C-alpha cells in the first residue's frame, strides 16, 4: 500500500504511545509529502518523532516527560509543554526558514543542529540545557539565533557558526539562576552577539574562531548580580569590539585574543584580566567600578580605571612596546603591583638610573599630566618599561615590589 499525497495533515495522540508511533511512522517516516503536519501528544510521557517529507511540522506535547525528535522540514514549531522534556531537532539547511522550540515548565534538554535563517529556543522555567551545533543559513542574508533560558540554573554549550555569506545575530538571555555558557563561535562572516545573565553566580566562556583576521566579531556581555566569571577569547579577529559588563558581585572577567576590548566590573570586589596575545596593538579598557578591584595588564595597550575603593593594578611582566595607563590612581589608597618582574627592585624617586638594574624612577609631567613610572630592568641605564599614572604623587609606599 502506497501512502497518499494530501495537502496537510494532523496527527492527534489520544491513546497509547505505541499507537501514536505506528501512525507517525506510517504517515511521515515512509515519505508522505505533507504541506503541514501537526503532532499532538497527551498529558503522559510521549515519544514524538518525524522526518523529511513535510514543509512544516508543529508539535504540541502537552504535560509529561516527553521525547521529541524531528529531522528536516522547512518550518518547525515545537512546544514541549510542562514536564522534563528532551527535544532534538536536526534542521538541515533550509534558507529563509524558521525553527522555534519551546521547552515549557520543567527541566528540559533542547538539542539543535543544522542551519536556519532564524532559530528561536526557549527553555521556559526550570533548569534547562541547550546543546548547539547550529549555524546561519548559507545565503547572503543575515541569520538570527535567539536563546531564552528563563529562570533556573541553565546550561548552553556547543558551537555556533556563521553562514558562508551572511552575518549572524545571536542573543542569549539566560535569566536568573546559576547559569553556564560555554560556546565556540566560528566566524567566516560578521557575528553580533548579545549575552544577558540575571541574578546568580554565572560562568560564561566564549571562544571566537575566525577564518580571516578581517572578520568582524562583536560581543556585548551583560552579567547580572552575583559572583560571575567570564572569559572571552576573540581569536585573531582584528575587527569588532568586545564589551563585558559585570554588576553587583565579586566578578572575574578575562579577555584574550585580538581587537578592542572593554571589561567593566561594576559593584563588588572584581578581578579584571587583560590577556590579549603578544604583538596585539588593540586598546583594552579595564574599569573596576565600585569596590576593591584587581586590574591585571597584558600585552595590549591597557587603559586602567580602578574606580572607587582601594584598587590594585598588576603588571606581571615587562611588556615591550605597549605603554599602559592608570587613569585614576589615588596616592595612599591604591597600589601598583610590580612584584611579578621587579621583585626586590629599588624605587629611586626622581633620581637617574645608576646602571645597577632593577630600579624604578618617576618622571613628572606638566601640571595635570600623568606621572611616568619607568623601570631599568637589565642595568643598561635605559628605560625598559613605562606606564603613565594619573596622580598628584607617587611614592615607594604605593608600589608592591
Number of separate helices (H) and strands (E) present in the chain? 2, 32
DSSP-derived 3-state class of residue 398: helix
Residue 392 CB contacts under 8 Å (≥ 6 apart), including other chains: 331
pLDDT at 365: 81
Q: Pull the grid cell for residue 316.
A: 606581571
**What local confidence, expressed as pLDDT, does residue 214 receive?**
66
Domain end among 155, 183, 211 = 183
225 within a domain of the structure (yes/no): no
> Does residue 290 fall inside a structural domain?
no
Which of 165, 183, 201 corresponds to the end of one domain?
183
Radius of gyration of the chain (CA): 28
Domain count, the chain: 2
Within a domain: residue 38?
Answer: yes
Q: What is residue 278's predicted lDDT score, i.e. its pLDDT?
A: 58
Predicted pLDDT of residue 34 = 44
Question: Quick check: is 169 in a domain?
Answer: yes
Task: Give CA–CA dist 323/29, Å, rounded.
Answer: 65
Q: What letter would DSSP give residue 310?
A: -
Q: What is the pLDDT of residue 359?
A: 94
pLDDT given for residue 96 in this prediction? 55
| Predicted local distance difference test score (pLDDT) of residue 321 | 58
C-alpha closest to that of 166 among 132, 138, 193, 186 = 138
Spell out a b/e string for 232-241, using b for 16 or more CB atoms within 10 Å of the CB, else e. bbbbbbbbbe
In sequence order, the 6+-apart residues with CB closer than 8 A to the CB of 15 are: none
Let me know if residue 293 belongs to a domain. Answer: no
DSSP letter assigned to residue 227: -
Amino acid 16: pLDDT: 39
Q: What is the pLDDT of residue 20?
A: 40
DSSP H or E run through 69? strand 67-71
In a domain, 203, yes or no: no
Please report whether residue 214 resides in a domain.
no
Give the β-pairing of 283-287 and 301-305: parallel
Write down the pLDDT at residue 18. 39
Q: Find out whether 241 and 260 touch, Cβ atoms under 8 Å.
A: yes
Which residue range(s) make up the domain with 360? 341-401
- Does a structural domain hold residue 229? no
The closest of 169, 239, 243 to 211, measured between CA atoms, is 239
Q: What pLDDT is recorded for position 115?
A: 76
Would you write out the chain's pLDDT as a tens digit for each of its 401 residues? Answer: 343 433 444 444 443 343 344 334 434 443 444 445 556 555 656 565 655 555 566 777 777 888 888 876 667 888 988 999 999 888 866 555 788 999 999 999 999 988 778 899 999 999 999 999 988 776 667 788 999 999 999 999 999 988 777 788 999 999 999 999 999 988 778 889 999 998 999 999 998 887 666 678 889 999 999 999 999 887 666 667 889 999 999 999 998 876 688 999 999 999 999 987 655 567 889 999 999 999 999 888 899 999 999 999 999 876 655 689 999 999 999 999 999 888 889 999 999 999 998 999 999 988 889 999 999 988 999 998 899 999 999 999 999 99
Residue at a domain's end among 138, 155, 183: 183
Amino acid at each position: 500500500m502506497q501512502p497518499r499525497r494530501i495537502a496537510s495533515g494532523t496527527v492527534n495522540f489520544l491513546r497509547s504511545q505505541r499507537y501514536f508511533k505506528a501512525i507517525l511512522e506510517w504517515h511521515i517516516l515512509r515519505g508522505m509529502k505533507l504541506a503541514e503536519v501537526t503532532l499532538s501528544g497527551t498529558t503522559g510521557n510521549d515519544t514524538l518523532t518525524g522526518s523529511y517529507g513535510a514543509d512544516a511540522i508543529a508539535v504540541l506535547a502537552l504535560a509529561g516527560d516527553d521525547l521529541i525528535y524531528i529531522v528536516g522540514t522547512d518550518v518547525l514549531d515545537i512546544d514541549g509543554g510542562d514536564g522534563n522534556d528532551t527535544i532534538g531537532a536536526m534542521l538541515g539547511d533550509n534558507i529563509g526558514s524558521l525553527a522555534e522550540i519551546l521547552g515549557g515548565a520543567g527541566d528540559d534538554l533542547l538539542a539543535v543542529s543544522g542551519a536556519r535563517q532564524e532559530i528561536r529556543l526557549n527553555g521556559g522555567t526550570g533548569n534547562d540545557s541547550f546543546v548547539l551545533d547550529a549555524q546561519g543559513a548559507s545565503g547572503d542574508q543575515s541569520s538570527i539565533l535567539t536563546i531564552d533560558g528563563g529562570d533556573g540554573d541553565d546550561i548552553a554549550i556547543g558551537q555556533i557558526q556563521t553562514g558562508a555569506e551572511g552575518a549572524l545575530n545571536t542573543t542569549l538571555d539566560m535569566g536568573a539562576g546559576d547559569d553556564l555558557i560555554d560556546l565556540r563561535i566560528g566566524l567566516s562572516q560578521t557575528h553580533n552577539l548579545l549575552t544577558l545573565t540575571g541574578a546568580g553566580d554565572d560562568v560564561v566562556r566564549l571562544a571566537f574562531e575566525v577564518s580571516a583576521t578581517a572578520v568582524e566579531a562583536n560581543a556585548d556581555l551583560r552579567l547580572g548580580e552575583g559572583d560571575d566569571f567570564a572569559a572571552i577569547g576573540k581569536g585573531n579577529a582584528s575587527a569588532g569590539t568586545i564589551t563585558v559588563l559585570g554588576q553587583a558581585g565579586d566578578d572575574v572577567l578575562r579577555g584574550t585574543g585580538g581587537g578592542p576590548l572593554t571589561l567593566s566590573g561594576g559593584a563588588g570586589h572584581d578581578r579584571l584580566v587583560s590577556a590579549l596575545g603578544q604583538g596585539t596593538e588593540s586598546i583594552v579598557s579595564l574599569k573596576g567600578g565600585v569596590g576593591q578591584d584587581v586590574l591585571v595588564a597584558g600585552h595590549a595597550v591597557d587603559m586602567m580605571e580602578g574606580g572607587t575603593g582601594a584598587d590594585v593594578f598588576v603588571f606581571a611582566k615587562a611588556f615591550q612596546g605597549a605603554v599602559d595607563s592608570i587613569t585614576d590612581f589615588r596616592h595612599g589608597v591604591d597600589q601598583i603591583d610590580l612584584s611579578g618582574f621587579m621583585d626586590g627592585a629599588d624605587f629611586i624617586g626622581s633620581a637617574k638610573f645608576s646602571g645597577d638594574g632593577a630600579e624604578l624612577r618617576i618622571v613628572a609631567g606638566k601640571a595635570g599630566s600623568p606621572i611616568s613610572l619607568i623601570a631599568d630592568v637589565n642595568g643598561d641605564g635605559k628605560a625598559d618599561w613605562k606606564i603613565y599614572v594619573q596622580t598628584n604623587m607617587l611614592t615607594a609606599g604605593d608600589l608592591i615590589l
